[in-house]
Structure 1
Amino acid sequence: MHERLLETADRLFYAQGIHAVGIDRVIAESSVAKSTMYVHFRTKEDLVAEYLRRRSDIMRARVTQEVEARAQGPVEERILSVFDVLHKVISEPGFRGCAFANAAAEYPHHAGIQEAIAYDRTWLPALLSGLLGPVRADNDDELVAALVQVYDGANAAAHLDRSATSARTARKTAELLLATRKPATDSNRTAAAEGR
């Protein structure tokens, strides 16, 4: 029942907007009793937060699978695979932009929903930073931040501009950014070797 409610909420909230879909509709289309719904989710906002976490976990799994499939390749190709997954996502029927940007616009002040959005916002920088490895180049933090912004921009352009090529353009931009990576300084190499 829990998963059925989440699947229905995901389909309806993402396609039509969270405020536009009442909880009674989610219950009806899930074919569960109202009492069952409230056993699993105390409020609609609890359901929204869980829907967002579930959507984040699904995207993380898709990206991780693609990155791991290229484990023997160069770091740059593993990082660029993130944009290949994004291209697949925006090419899917029913793509309606970033679920987290959409939710942030609808719920700018709800603590639980903002926490779910923050949960999603941590995984991509952590993944990219981890892929760059323990020996940090001088501009790695800036590079990770730039790559995340390029990813976010491609996601927004795909929806707002109806751009079918935004992730491909973002991938090319990411290649240029990766080419600017500066060699690690001796102090960074020493810190990595000492596990700092």
Structure 2
Amino acid sequence: MTRGAPEPRPSEARLRLLATATRIFYAEGIHSVGVDRIIAEAKVTRATFYRHFPSKDDLILAYLREIHGMERGRVEAALAADPSPAGALLAIAGSIAESIQSSGFRGCAFLNAAAEYPDPNHPVHQEVIGHRQWFLDTLTALMAQVHEETAGPAARHFVMLRDGAMAAGCLFDPALVSETFLRGVEGLLDINSERQSAQSHR
């Protein structure tokens, strides 16, 4: 079986543009940052920008996909670190708690983007929904291994705990918020583990 040629590495200019946009969009918001500033801080020409990103929306979508890749990587690392479903869920929660306490934390990049692009038909909003569906599906699959009958509600509960912690982490003591979030996830898993144990003894 022959392997296809590897995908070409993105150009240095594109990587620099995306890194600049990722930093500024997350720190300051999307609508407030213009293309001219991205071009200036990335030290590229306007022609170079538009060669890689035909519009600002294309850059925004690339930014969100970059963040999705980072978050997916953290989830995959958590799964690799502890293959047990409950352990993986706790590891995912731990990664979220760690991000809340990180320097420069400004909440969830996807929730922030959804607030700026509320139109459900806009490509940016749809990108947000796609990311959140992936996260919910991942949690649901893990929760099903803890207690299959409550997997859907338990996964949605986890997402709501996470969303609340992401918002509270910008307003209150991040360490306290993280601790509260982790205790909430532990309690959620305890409830579902008890249900699984009760069913197995019937």
TM tier relative to shorter chain: 0.7 to 0.9
Residue in structure 2 matched with residue 161 of structure 1 by the alignment:
172
1:134 Cα offset (Å): 6.0
1:152 and 2:124 aligned:
no
Superposed structure 1 runs of 4+ greater than 4 Å apart: 133-136
C-alpha separation in 2, matches of 1:128 and 1:121: 11
User: 1:86 is matched with which residue: 74, 96, 109?
Assistant: 96
Deviation digits for residues 48-102 of structure 1, max 9, x if unmatched? 121011111101101211221112xx42121111111012211221111111111
TM-score computed with the length of structure 1 as normaliser: 0.85
**Structure 1 partner of 2:87:** 77
Q: CA deviation at 1:151?
A: 1.1
| Whole-angstrom CA distance in 2 between matches of 1:28 and 1:179 | 52
Tell whether the 8 Å contact from 2:39 to 2:49 is kept in structure 1 after alignment.
yes
- Give yes or no for the alignment of 1:107 onto 2:117: yes
**Displacement after TM superposition at 1:184 (Å):** 9.4
Alpha-carbon distance in 2 for matches of 1:68, 1:87: 18
Gap regions ≥5 residues in structure 2: 1-12
Q: Provide the alpha-carbon RMSD of the alignment.
A: 2.1
**How many residue pairs were aligned?**
184
Query: Is the contact between residue 136 and residue 184 of structure 1 (CA under 8 Å) also seen in structure 2?
Result: no
Whether contact under 8 Å (1:56, 1:120) holds in the other structure is yes
Residue 154 of structure 1 and its aligned partner are, at CA, apart by 0.9
Shift of residue 128, structure 1, vs aligned partner: 1.4
Identity value in percent: 36
Amino acid at match of 2:64: L
* CA shift in 2, pair 1:185/1:118, >3 Å: farther
**How far off is 1:43 after superposition?**
1.1
Q: In the superposition, relative to structure 1, how do residues 104 and 58 fare at CA in structure 2: closer, same or farther (>3 Å)?
A: same
8 Å Cα contact 2:74/2:92 also seen in 1: no
Which residue identity lines up with residue 47 of structure 1 in the other structure?
A: L
Could you tell me how far apart the structure 2 residues matched to 1:53 and 1:25 are? 21
* Secondary structure of 1:183's aligned partner: helix
